Amino acid sequence: MNETTIRKRTAELLEQGLRADRPSRLVNLLLILLISLNVIAIFLETVDSIYAQFAQAFWYFEVFSVVVFTIEYLARVWSSIDRQESSNSSPIAGRIRYMLSPIALVDLIAILPFYLSLYIAIDLRFLRVLRLLRLFKLTRYSPALGALLDVIQKESEALLAAFVVLLMMLVISTGGIYLLENELQPETFGSMPSSMWWAIVTLTTVGYGDVVPVTSLGKIFGGVIGLLGIGMIALPAAIMASGFAENIRGRKQQYNHYLQQFLKDGIIDETERWKLEELRKELGLDSDEALQLLHDMIQQARHMAPKTCPHCGETMD
């Protein structure tokens, strides 16, 4: 086997959907299991009695996990040029593009804290929280979580604009409540940074009640900010909902495209059926949705097919 063949086989084993054979499913299952065990281990490490008894075992498991995740990351980068979206790029450009993709950055963040801790003194609690980011590696194996990352990436500009508007509202509400309540409540509204806590909990409509305005103007201002906060918090949610709807529509269009290709000869053989099933799982479509799309496609093909005379077999206008 030459290097190209080995690299392509590596991509097939690691990338779910390139080839869904038994070894590929086994590799992905083992990686999912290792990620899950890492999250469990991080939680158990915070229990002092358990950590004191099994500290060395936790360390060995961490080293083993980092070695596996490092090999996985390097293998993905090496074989990334055989992915469909990188096939038209040069090897270096294709690998760099993959390394800068969100899912590859998640893989890098999963192992980076361990290597940094070897050279930089990092608080153990902070290190544990960073290691919890390995949970995001599961987005590779879940169509729903993958859709979430796709939506965030595609709607990043709209989400950033919404965040800027929220930030402006936060600054305005902080300044307003500071001006209205500073004299009567210097202990809670004595400065704009301390007033920002009230602005945050009011804009997010949480309203803990630990800091409240006492002046009439302050109460009116707080009510207005609370009402505005309902709309402002709904803005990112609306962007995400719209993005999810568009993402699902795109997945259905992609499934329809493959259906059209497979139905060109009028039949879907066993191989094509399995490919459609794997594509359905990869796209996260429900089996009933996939059957409905297939039914609609067949009905459309029948409607568009030229009608023939039942007696002579000639095409009828």
Task: Taking residues 218-245, report their average pLDDT.
Answer: 86
Correct CATH for 3-140 of 1.10.20.60, 3.30.420.10, 3.40.50.720, 1.20.120.350: 1.20.120.350
pLDDT grade, residue 176 (50/70/90)? Answer: very high
Q: Of the given ranges (118-122, 269-273, 306-310), which has the lowest mean pLDDT?
A: 306-310
Distance CA 276, CA 266 (A): 15
CA torsion sign, 22 to 25 to 28 to 31? negative
Query: Which residue, among 81, 101, 100, has the nearest Cα to 92 in the 3D structure?
Result: 81
The residue ranking higher by pLDDT, 44 or 312, is 44
Find tokens 């229990």 and name the residue: 47
Lowest mean pLDDT among 112-116, 165-169, 223-227: 112-116
Q: What is the pLDDT of residue 18?
A: 45
| Number of other residues whose CB lies within 10 A of the CB of residue 166 | 17
Q: Which amino acid type is present at position 142?
A: S
CATH architecture of 142-308+313-317: Orthogonal Bundle (1.10)
pLDDT of 290 > 80? The answer is no
CA 305-309-315 angle, to 5 degrees, is 50
C-alpha to C-alpha distance for 134 and 106, rounded to whole angstroms: 7
- Is residue 115 very low, low, confident or very high in pLDDT (cuts 50, 70, 90)? confident
pLDDT beyond 60 at 254? yes
pLDDT digits (tens, 9 = 90+) for 57-82: 999 999 999 999 999 999 988 888 76
Q: Is the fold of 3-140 the same as that of 142-308+313-317?
A: no
pLDDT given at position 311 = 54
Instruction: Check if the beta carbon of residue 247 is closer than 8 Å to that of residue 155.
Output: no
Specify the pTM: 0.60
Collapsing DSSP states into helix, strand and coil, what is residue 79? helix
Tokens of 281: 């799982």
Q: Which of 166, 180, 135 is nearest to 32 (CA)?
A: 135
φ/ψ of 308, rounded to 5, equals -120, 155
Please name which of 66, 11, 59 lies closest in space to residue 35, comparing C-alpha atoms: 66
**What mean pLDDT do residues 245-271 have?**
77
DSSP secondary structure letters along 187-235: TTSSSHHHHHHHHHHHHTT---SSS---SHHHHHHHHHHHHHHHHHHHH
- pLDDT-wise least confident of 31-40, 155-164, 298-307: 298-307
DSSP one-letter code for 163: H
As a whole number, the mean pLDDT across the chain is 80
pLDDT given for residue 180 in this prediction: 92
Mean pLDDT is lowest, of 20-34, 144-158, 274-288, 297-311, for 297-311
The residues spanned by each domain of the chain are 3-140, 142-308+313-317
Q: Which residues pair with 308 in a beta bridge?
A: 315
Dihedral (CA of 161, 164, 166, 169) sign: negative
Would you state the pLDDT for residue 304?
Answer: 56
User: Do 159 and 236 form a contact (C-beta atoms < 8 A)?
Assistant: yes
**Residue that has been written with the tokens 């509202």 in this structure:** 169
- The Cα–Cα gap between 18 and 99 comes to 19
- Crossing angle of helices 270-283 and 216-262, in 10° steps, is 170
Which range has the worst mean pLDDT, 8-12, 104-108, 111-115, 170-174? Answer: 8-12
Of 141, 159, 127, 152, the C-alpha closest to 62 is: 127
Do residues 233 and 203 make contact, with C-beta atoms less than 8 angstroms apart? yes
Whether residue 44 is predicted with pLDDT greater than 70 in this model: the reply is yes
